[in-house]
Structure 1
Amino acid sequence: RAEKPDLVIVTGDIAFPVPYKAGTLNNKNPSKIFADLMEQMGVYWCVAFGNHDTETYSYYDREQIGNFYSNKEKYPHCLFQKGPEDVDGVGNYLIKVKNSKGEITNSFVMLDSGSYVDGDVFGILWKYDCVHKNQVDWYESQINLLTEENNGTVPPSLMFFHIPPLEMKDAYYAYKDNGFNDTDRVQYLYGKAGEKGAAICTSEYNYGLFDKVKELGSTKAVYMGHDHLNNFTLMYDGIQLSYGYSIDYLAYSGISKYGAQRGCNVITCKPDGTFTTELQNYYQDKYQSQHTKENVDMGDRFTEEEMQEAASENESKYHEQKEKNEQ
């Protein structure tokens, strides 16, 4: 209500149907609660699926939840589309932003970054999926169509999906290895790596999405979720890589009493195609709630010793995996 947005984009994990925490396998209920809320607010909204939205053991799969969001009669403000059937994932679609002359001033690319791979059907091994090759090809075709529609001018775009690409990890470690100073390729913009040991959970696979983004020259920023306590933004090879804020109350033990990560990422797109991004934490006086706000801890969630120990382990794993990938 305070931000009065034109569009709300959620980068995944609206549902968390892990029974020993959530007490249910029903992953449609939280989707319905959120959809009903947005319709009550009268705000346009859309979703990119996260790994938890549809678990192997949850009641509904991606196709079914996609059908639920696609009910325009019930949810007229929802801009979600299931996307082409011959492209991997559910929810690969494009939202065009036009001015009064009908010219495309921006577009939002939504992608499904999948869930789990390599036999990790329950997600307990953290073997995450990523955007696949045919999705990259689809993205390229959409940018080419937009360029044709825009009289040969490549329109700017922003991209949204859940699981970070490997380049987010590459950028972070290049920045860290340089003493947390900018390099020729990486510049820190804002935010914090709040996961234990600055963990950045990505897939081990890479099908060239980031390289295609650089090649086409349309997408200026990539927004992602997944790592609930990370909210930092880096520029990498001229592309903005941004974590958003979280509204998580469930997945991490005790996270309901921690508030430094909770809020929204406000993106302002201008008619000339430029944009700005800023983090807005929920626990500000300007956000007046109908209910009493939770008494939360705004300090560091983990001790410095825990962070350092985990950081050392994470860094070793990163360099081992990078060396393996290069071989």
Structure 2
Amino acid sequence: MELRLKENNPFKILQLTDLHIGSVPFDQYDSRTFQHIKEMTEMTNPDLVVITGDLIWSEGVEHPEKSFQALLDELNALHTPVAITYGNHDTEEGVTRSALREMEAGLHLLAPKKHEHIVEDRASYCLEVLDQQGEVAHILYMVDSGARDPLEIGTYEFVHPDQVTWFNEVSTYYASRENEWKQDALFLHIPLPEYKEAWAEGKVSGQKREPISSPMVNTGLFTSLLLNGNIAGVFCGHDHDNDFVAEYHGIQLCFGKVSGFQCYGELNRGARMIEFHPQEPMQTYIVEKKA
């Protein structure tokens, strides 16, 4: 199963985030989330669905793997390729990231992972989007941003230095591609520290209704993205009441749109769309269910 561009059409990515599926048996909020996933996919007809973390609750849940399996069953019904990275709530209790990754194999259209790298049970990998000639057109980097800060300097974990090294090595592997526009993107759960600077100094659109929950420790991934020169945007979740985009030094730092009903947040539930066009810059925008 390959991700491929269609003739004269953009490559469309539907970003869902912070689903927070709860305990089995599910309540009305989880049922609304499952319905929301289906509606967003039908409305946008994406080429790929990317879920950027906090797919489930695990803390206080007796069998979080059952909740995750139920979510996988819902995703299989979409008949659309899916890619996943994890958040701070997915493995707080009762299940590990490696166990969740093993369960991912049950996704019939799991997007094929390239250059997978695991450090401290956190996986980074790439997705290749091919053009009609079979050449690599876009690289989508998926980075597991962790959970709690092990150094206890801040609240949330930082991108591991080994993951930054991985990005530098893998992006160098793909560096020979040439295009007028930036062609690649990076997805993770916890926003990079530069999101705070981007909100204060960048060209901003969208809403910020809560403090940006970035790690206090900065391991330099954003600098590597700048040096790479081919990253059009970074897409995260985590903060349910933020959905802004801030262009910062030529890279769009984007929050997704909270997609789950079993969690806090005053913003309307929705999703973020990302479009890569053959002869235009990357475009991104929010989608919500029409009243």
Residue 276 in structure 1 maps to residue 283 in structure 2: yes
- For structure 1, list consecutive stretches of 5 or more residues without a partner in the other structure: 176-185, 286-327
Q: CA deviation at 1:216?
A: 1.0
Look up the equivalent residue of 1:140 and give its one-letter code: N
Matches within 5 A, 1:14-29: 14-19=55-60, 24-29=61-66
Out of 82, 92, 98, the position equivalent to 2:124 is 92
2:95 to 55, 60, 67: 60
For 1:3 and 1:264, locate their aligned partners in 2 and report how far apart those are by CA, in whole Å.
Answer: 10
Q: CA deviation at 1:79?
A: 2.0
Q: 2:51–2:85: 8 Å Cα contact kept in structure 1?
A: yes
Q: Counterpart of 2:175 in 1: which secondary structure?
A: helix
Q: Could you tell me how far 1:268 is from its partner in structure 2?
A: 1.2
Off by >6 Å, runs of 4+ in structure 1: 151-155
Q: Within 5 Å, which residues of 2 pair with 1:116-195?
A: 116-118=148-150, 127-148=155-176, 150=177, 156-172=183-199, 174-175=200-201, 186-188=202-204, 190-195=205-210
Q: Distance in 1 between matches of 2:181 and 2:257?
A: 30
Letter in 1 for 2:185: L
Q: Whole-Å Cα distance in 1 between the matches of residues 108 and 280 of structure 2?
A: 27
Could you tell me which residue of structure 1 aligns to residue 274 of structure 2?
267
**Relative to structure 1, is the Cα distance of residues 273 and 219 closer, same or farther in structure 2, using a 3 angstrom cutoff?**
farther
- 1:192 and 1:232 in contact (8 A); partners too: yes
Please list, as runs of the form range in 1=range in 2, the aligned pairs for 1:200-219 lying within 5 A after superposition: 200-219=212-231
Aligned length: 250
TM-score where L is the length of structure 2: 0.79
TM-score by structure 1 length? 0.70
- 3-state DSSP of counterpart to 1:2: helix
What is the identity percentage for the equivalent residue pairs of Structure 1 and Structure 2? 26
Code of the residue aligned with 1:62 in structure 2: it is: R
Alignment map for 1:239-254 (pairs within 5 Å): 239-252=251-264
SS of equivalent to 1:41: coil
User: Aligned-residue CA RMSD in angstroms?
Assistant: 2.4
For residues 57 and 76 of structure 2, the distance between their equivalents in structure 1, rounded to whole angstroms, comes to 21
Cα pair 1:87 1:138 within 8 Å, conserved: no
Determine the structure 1 residue equivalent to 2:20. Answer: none
Partner-residue secondary structure (3-state), 2:222: helix
Q: Answer 1 or 2: which has greater strand percent.
A: 2
Bigger fraction of residues in helix = 1
1:112 aligns with 2:144: yes
Higher relative contact order (CA 8 A, sep 6+): 2
SS in 2 for 1:207: coil
One-letter amino acid of the structure 2 residue matched with residue 8 of structure 1: V
